[in-house]
Structure 1
Amino acid sequence: MANQDLDRASNPPQVPVQRNAEADIETTIPVFEHEESRDLITPNFTHFREDPFSFLKQISLHYQGVGWRAYDNVIGQPIFYKGFSEQMKMKILQSELLRAKIVELSKRRAKLEDESGRCGQEEGEQREKRRERRRQEIEKQLNEVADGIVDGMICKFESKRFIRGAYYLCMQILARTYDQGIHVSSREIQNLRRVATIAAENKQSLIFLPCHRSHIDYVSLQVLCYRLGIALPVVVAGDNLNFPLVGQFLQNAGGMFIRRSFGGDELYTATVQSYVDAILKGGYNFECFIEGGRSRTGKLLQPKFGILGYLLDSLLSGRVEDAWIVPVSTQYDKVIETEGYVNELLGIPKQKENLWDFLGSSKYLSLKMGRVDIRFQDPWSLRDFMNDFLSKKAGPTGGPEISKSEIRLNMLKSLGYRVLGDINKVSVVMPTSLIGTVLLTLRGRGVGKSELVRRIEWLSDRIRAKGGRVAAFGGFATSVVVDRGLAVLGDLVGRVDGLAEDTYYAVDRFQLSFYRNMMIHLFVSETIVAAAMYTRIKQGGGVSNQRVPHDVLFTQVSFLSQLFRGEFVFPTDGIVTNLHKTLQGLEADRVINIGYKDTEKREIDYVELSEEERQCGRENYDFYCFLIWPFIESMWLAGVSIMGLTPPKGCEDVWVGLKESQDMAQLGGKTLYHQGDISYFEAVNKETLKNAFQRFDEEGIVLTRKSTVGKNPPMLKLSPEWVPKRDPVTGKIIPEGKLWDYIERIAISRREGKNRRDSASVGTRVLTLVEKLGTGLFMDAMEKEKMQEEELETEVKKGRRRRSKL
């Protein structure tokens, strides 16, 4: 057998996949009718020290290309032959779209030079001939530029021997780092191969759209496609990874390098679109990350529409008939980069990728970091999606006409959020995520082993009840799985020895929050409801005092949902339907009771905690609150920081830097955390604060000015109608007004600290701090403006002196 499942002792039935005629060895892939997952990597991995004979045998099999290792007869269009890259390059450079853009740009430039007098003073036919000659020169130059762009961008599928060696190298790295292997669903793999076969017959592409949490994402998916005999996809990668040696390796393994920002470069944009067209026209598989960059927080990011827009335009234009969308979820027991992510989120500048850092990652190769689970949503036709979208948007006639650009934008958003929804549907919650979530959602310093196991079993049941998936571990007891997860988390979790029971506690809460956030999407609706109820429950007292009227609940739920619309992916049923479903679910779980005005009409009057929930110390209700509180805290922090940007006297027209404002919020948050006014250190993370500032911009609370020329950074100021008043005597910001009321609406759902209460005294302390930091920003901004004016004046004087000499 070429592969065996580690979780099953008996020999499973076999399904033939491909035959290597030269070696006459049939490659088979096991089928498991009742197994949720199986490992595709470690069964073919052997340590030299453990079994040198098997180790050398595996190397020999890969070198000779025996069986599936030959990568012959793959499902998809032919790749890995001499001349493949050159043929693809010619298709790009000769595409009608790119040719038309080059002609357009050359005409535009020649006309501009002619109007400026750079083409001479001739008139009539001579002038036209001169301009045409100049246009041809420019066109030739643009062709050379496009040729260079393609050379730096294009992937270079050329050598099967290279890809066999690359697969073996990557398999060794993955198997040593993730010692429990790469696990997949047998049913999903069979379905993927079935769709891949249909796509190959119709010369259509599979477009893999994975989530992105680690550099391992694209390595593991390429390895998986190789192992399954599916044509490797061309993978979109940022050109920051195109550094010596590693860049060439990635390019030959399928990497397509593009700039992080195109900066309005029309030629570069047309070249990328032409490349995407060439890939999809040829039926070659394609991969890009729906979130753009890696998620530093663990949860799914909002979709990025750059490359997704190029894919959509290929079909909208009619240049490509159809392609298949394959949403992919990649989940880890432990992500290699989380320590680096924490540094970035705390404001430590990101280190640029280079060869030294890449080689330095070899320190992870001897670690046991658990396993990787890759899940595939059922592939679907992009053309069918577009047709369905257009038919739904057509609707009844007589309404206002919608422009084509608006239709495209709405279609693009719908596509992005559907993919995110599909990724969430198939995502598997790993044991480390369960452990991290439980440790971060319990009151007290630590938790005993038995209680940890009990809460993990409760959480697993809740995940399944919500339609989610929990990683299968071959029928092992929960306590065994927990022990494995704790071993993988290592020093992120501490254990207190010498007690009556093993007791565990969170050592690095910030890093553990990454694993908590990997499953928060399952409970977003419940967390919003819990935070809205907390506005009354935190008052304490009897049952009636903590009872929440439905209209009060709905108002706060609506507010929080709008506040976090850029942070989480919400269900698409609408807020009324979603709230009703959530309340019904919480009542079925015996967390709350619902009081009805009219039982027959099911018209809700109020909600309250159930007696069972009170008897168990609110542990289930608190779980939902603990999930959302760090995010509420971060939004509150951003709000009070914005309050600190109230301009001092004489600075009403001064703009401050957006980045500097966010840095100020983070510095203020760190100070407030250590002073006890913020409960969660992860609330100061840079990404959530950036999302908060973006949300305030959308709400019109702040104005953002972005430069259209040069590299001037974005600037920020409070909108006039949101600017708080200052005390005419002391000059201090007065905690009242429209902005303060907005911040208070966030604050009423915050967790109250053990040694504090939300009060005027807290507001005074916080405002004093952020006002001090904000005043410093304004002073710095005015100093920069003064320096720029002086530099400009100096340049003007130099220009005058040069002209006088002439």
Structure 2
Amino acid sequence: MAQDDDPTRDSAPDLQILGDQITLQPRSYVEARRDGDHEEALMHNMARFRSEPLQFLREVSLYVSGMGWRAYDKVIGQPIFYSGFSEHMKNSVVSAPLLQARISHLADRRLELEEKEGWLRKDDKDFAGMKAHRRAVVEEGIQAVAEKMTNDMICKFESKTFIRGAYYMVTQLLTRAYHQGIHVSSEEVLRLRKVAEEAERKKQSIIFLPSHRSHVDYVSMQLICYRLGLALPVVVAGDNLNFPVVGNFLQHAGAMWIRRSFGNDTLYTTLVQAYIDTLLQGGYNFECFIEGGRSRTGKLLSPKFGILSFILDSLLSGRVEDAIICPVSTQYDKVIETEGYVTELLGVPKKKENLADFLKGSSVLSLKLGRVDVRFHEPWSLRGYIDEQLTKLTKSPESLSMNTKTAENAAIKQKLLRTMGYKVLSDINDVSVVMPTALIGTVLLTLRGRGVGMSELLRRIEWLTARVGAKGGRVAHFGNAPLADVVERGLDVLGKDLVGSIEGLAEPTYYAVDRFQLSFYRNMTIHLFISEALVSASMYTRVKQGGGPANQEISYTALRDQVLFLSSLFRGEFIFPSDGLAVNLEKTLIGLENDRVIKLQRDEKGTIYSIGLAEEERIAGRENYDFYCFLIWPFIESSWLSAVSLMGLTPPLGHNDDVWIEVAKAQNTAQLLGKTLYHQGDLSYFEAVNKETLKNSYTRFEEEGIIYAVKPKDKKAPPRLRLSPEWMPSRDPRSGALRAEGKLWDFIEHISSSRREGKNRRDGATVSTRVLRLADVLGGGLYEEAAAPGGESRMDVGVAEEMKVVLKAERRRRKLEGRAQL
């Protein structure tokens, strides 16, 4: 089929970029849903040799000869892609004063050790000369190691011919997988180009901080920068992708290889800092992922502060004057890796990347995965942000010197990192668009019943689209295409493996085939409605009790307390509005009242004292209220499961409490417990056994001192944990059975009060007996294994006591900061 006959080619307007000129093609203009927001298709499918051999050869010749914008000339930014670029960067890094000071320090330490061991003796006749010679040898050796590590690490922008060929090849592959191309907002990219021009003039770097759901994220960013005529950013990449052939290709296309863990290697740590300093001092664009790794769940992960810490140190130290931060959202109709994510989340260990799997995985390129939507938040000055935050954090920021290492400076830097990380995540959420597949997945997983007819599916998607807009979100638009066509297109992209249909009925009926994988797309919308979901789940503590409307009302105080509890429980799981609990709760309640979901009872002063379901919502079958509950219930289930699994960490009778369990084994046992409870009917959502969410819950429990976790000094030894004594459940002294009482059990019941009611959970006593027995059996197996000879489970008493002191200090610090406690 010829290109012009392909109906998917012009599914959205085209943005034509020729060199440094950007032109909107008149035939492509489509009025967007929001004023001043024109969304454009950045790429089209390219010609294929079999169907259009002449057009294919013409396109190849354009790339090879570098005609028009394909020449990648007049790029906005600092010079890259010239012979000798890599050597220049390597020399700049290894000669950096910071790195040279570290090499000198390491040489001093080495000489001190050699003197201590008797290799160098002060009573030797020519001690000073021997020491100077030895220092020179040691420094030369460390320098050689630094040069080798630098060469392996740095990005190698060397050849325009290479990057033109790489762009063509990658575009060919990407537009076959994502057949509707990459879409951007023309206003955002025009603004980005202006910012880039100003940054070039000031010799400042643009630091792109994208969300991370797929390996396609950094590919799409490089393609966009190429098409816009921006200097390609250096991309921070884990060295797990640095395997033969592919690693070398990526390094010449922009990858900077770093280890997954630095450990105590001070030379390597300083080398990374020196390279980042060199890039930012030179005004080279830079890209790293704010979440660290890819999100396996579809929603944004908590920020990782590793690379951000290096960037912040560059500015706080004064080695770099300023840099521009640009948060980026990348959304997909369908993510290539979701099937693999499900496998990992169900407990199958992740395979190491290799060329064979890469080539095998390329078969997905024959699929039709829809489109990629990339959105750029308005860039902001990092120096301006730091100055603003320091003014809030200290009384006299002008006299503050961040060059010295003090406890106060370390605390200030940690606060800066945290606030900056969550600001970037909030900015990403602000500009993210909701894809049709996310709308479909969200609706299918928030409806009661086995399936839904097409008319009802369209009605609920239309309602959800309106709600997204009302919450300040944006839905990816398809010009003037009818909603039914957009939904049909989304169903085709999701495919029959995710959404099934039943024919031969009164109307086409659709149902979720793989709810676990479909939850990835539902989670792309949850950030917009997290406040409503928490309020609805808190109200459910009364709604689930049944009875008349009056019996299901909840007092404002009880609602606020439960919202506070759930917010604290999910502090590491979601990005919450920054207004504070009281303001955000009032906004949410008024919003739900205006939407006729809830009814607020006020006293004569206008103060809310009671909340219940609105009569209109009851008549409508609670469909909107249930929608918000269905969004949060899987996460409540997962937290409940994690807490129940902690009951199994109670030492059996006759065992001392100094036995420590491997963290990974405890979490794997929690997952096994969840799978069992799901199939026995005591767990409503299979996605509650999600390994990532269970891990987040354990981290949250550690933060609150419910469990103690320690990392042994031996790097090969795995982290271990045990229950805190104050949270330890009791056992029946005769039978040894766990008792459904105590602080931990009350905590579990507190979570359970907002769980979805089910047929197997109406008799609490029966459930507590059955579930606790199973948790105890599984936990007992962990103790038998850990306490066995050679189990290496017992921690040094001094270390355990030290950890208790640290945890108590951490709890005091959180109280001083006024954070909500579980």
What is the TM-score of this pair, normalised by structure 1? 0.93
- The offset of 1:394, in angstroms, is 2.9
Q: After alignment, is 401-410 or 101-110 more displaced?
A: 401-410
Query: Would you say how many aligned residue pairs link Structure 1 and Structure 2?
Result: 773
Per-residue CA deviations over 1:358-403 (Å, capped at 9, x if unaligned) read 1112211111000000000011111111111112223599xx9981
Report the secondary structure of 1:301's partner residue.
coil
Distance 2:183 2:138 in 1: 54
Distance 1:160 1:383 in 2: 33
Q: Is the 8 A contact 2:211 2:328 kept in 1?
A: yes
* Aligned pairs for 1:251-266 within 5 A: 251-266=251-266
Report the secondary structure of 1:328's partner residue.
strand
* Aligned pairs for 1:481-630 within 5 A: 481-491=486-496, 492-599=498-605, 602-630=606-634
The letter of the residue matching 1:143 is Q
Query: 2:40 maps to which residue?
Result: 38
**Which of 713, 716, 726 is the matching residue for 1:711?**
716
Q: Is the 8 A contact 2:330 2:374 kept in 1?
A: yes
Per-residue CA deviations over 1:13-66 (Å, capped at 9, x if unaligned) read x8x8636xxxxxx77455858443111111x61222332222221111111111
Distance 2:122 2:628 in 1: 78
The letter of the residue matching 2:167 is Y
Gaps of 5+ in 2: 33-37, 401-405, 795-822
Per-residue CA deviations over 1:96-152 (Å, capped at 9, x if unaligned) read 000000000110111122112232x44277434433332222211111110111111
Does 2:762 correspond to 1:760? no
The letter of the residue matching 1:738 is K
Does 2:771 correspond to 1:771? no
Report the secondary structure of 2:456's partner residue.
helix
- The offset of 1:7, in angstroms, is 4.7
Q: Is the 8 A contact 2:19 2:72 kept in 1?
A: no
Q: Is the 8 A contact 2:31 2:479 kept in 1?
A: no
Q: Structure 1 758/519 Cα, relative in aligned 2: closer, same or farther at 3 Å?
A: farther
Distance 1:613 1:228 in 2: 49
Report the secondary structure of 2:173's partner residue.
helix
The letter of the residue matching 1:145 is V
Query: 2:269 maps to which residue?
Result: 269
Report the secondary structure of 1:134's partner residue.
helix
* Aligned pairs for 1:615-654 within 5 A: 615-648=619-652, 649-654=654-659
Query: 1:194 maps to which residue?
Result: 194
Query: 2:48 maps to which residue?
Result: 47
Distance 2:12 2:217 in 1: 26
Query: 2:209 maps to which residue?
Result: 209
Q: Structure 1 27/290 Cα, relative in aligned 2: closer, same or farther at 3 Å?
A: closer
- The offset of 1:197, in angstroms, is 0.5
Distance 1:5 1:386 in 2: 44
The letter of the residue matching 2:438 is S
Distance 2:656 2:634 in 1: 34
Distance 2:704 2:303 in 1: 20
Report the secondary structure of 1:385's partner residue.
helix
Per-residue CA deviations over 1:682-706 (Å, capped at 9, x if unaligned) read 0001000000000110110000011
Query: 1:64 maps to which residue?
Result: 65
Gaps of 5+ in 1: 20-25, 790-806
Per-residue CA deviations over 1:53-94 (Å, capped at 9, x if unaligned) read 222211111111110000000010110000000000000000
Query: 1:90 maps to which residue?
Result: 91
Report the secondary structure of 2:780's partner residue.
helix
The letter of the residue matching 2:359 is L
Report the secondary structure of 2:603's partner residue.
strand
Query: 2:819 maps to which residue?
Result: none
Q: Is the 8 A contact 1:334 1:489 kept in 2?
A: yes
Distance 1:693 1:787 in 2: 22
* Aligned pairs for 1:271-670 within 5 A: 271-395=271-395, 403-491=408-496, 492-599=498-605, 602-648=606-652, 649-670=654-675
The letter of the residue matching 1:220 is S
Distance 2:513 2:314 in 1: 50
Query: 2:747 maps to which residue?
Result: 742
Distance 1:541 1:365 in 2: 55
Q: Structure 1 360/267 Cα, relative in aligned 2: closer, same or farther at 3 Å?
A: same
- The offset of 1:753, in angstroms, is 1.4
Q: Structure 1 196/125 Cα, relative in aligned 2: closer, same or farther at 3 Å?
A: farther
* Aligned pairs for 1:223-242 within 5 A: 223-242=223-242
Q: Is the 8 A contact 1:329 1:426 kept in 2?
A: yes
Q: Is the 8 A contact 1:63 1:165 kept in 2?
A: yes
Per-residue CA deviations over 1:159-198 (Å, capped at 9, x if unaligned) read 0000000000110111000011100000001000010010
Q: Structure 1 634/8 Cα, relative in aligned 2: closer, same or farther at 3 Å?
A: closer
Distance 1:619 1:417 in 2: 32
Q: Structure 1 435/125 Cα, relative in aligned 2: closer, same or farther at 3 Å?
A: farther
Query: 1:136 maps to which residue?
Result: 136
Distance 2:30 2:486 in 1: 23
Q: Is the 8 A contact 2:602 2:609 kept in 1?
A: yes
Query: 1:699 maps to which residue?
Result: 704
Q: Is the 8 A contact 2:12 2:41 kept in 1?
A: no
Distance 2:559 2:147 in 1: 60
Distance 2:291 2:439 in 1: 24
Q: Is the 8 A contact 2:277 2:320 kept in 1?
A: yes
Q: Structure 1 143/201 Cα, relative in aligned 2: closer, same or farther at 3 Å?
A: same
Q: Is the 8 A contact 1:432 1:489 kept in 2?
A: yes
Q: Is the 8 A contact 1:111 1:131 kept in 2?
A: no
Percent sequence identity over aligned pairs: 60
Distance 2:346 2:177 in 1: 27
Q: Is the 8 A contact 1:27 1:68 kept in 2?
A: no
The letter of the residue matching 2:246 is V
Q: Structure 1 661/133 Cα, relative in aligned 2: closer, same or farther at 3 Å?
A: same
Q: Structure 1 125/378 Cα, relative in aligned 2: closer, same or farther at 3 Å?
A: farther
Query: 1:676 maps to which residue?
Result: 681
Report the secondary structure of 2:637's partner residue.
helix
Q: Is the 8 A contact 1:646 1:774 kept in 2?
A: yes
Distance 2:147 2:777 in 1: 54
The letter of the residue matching 2:65 is Q
Distance 1:510 1:786 in 2: 36
Distance 1:739 1:114 in 2: 55
Q: Is the 8 A contact 2:153 2:257 kept in 1?
A: yes
Distance 1:113 1:396 in 2: 46
Distance 2:112 2:637 in 1: 56
Distance 1:395 1:541 in 2: 56
Distance 1:618 1:6 in 2: 41
- The offset of 1:758, in angstroms, is 5.3
Query: 1:728 maps to which residue?
Result: 733
Distance 1:76 1:782 in 2: 61
Report the secondary structure of 1:598's partner residue.
coil
What is the TM-score of this pair, normalised by structure 2? 0.92
Q: Cα RMSD (Å) of the superposition?
A: 2.0
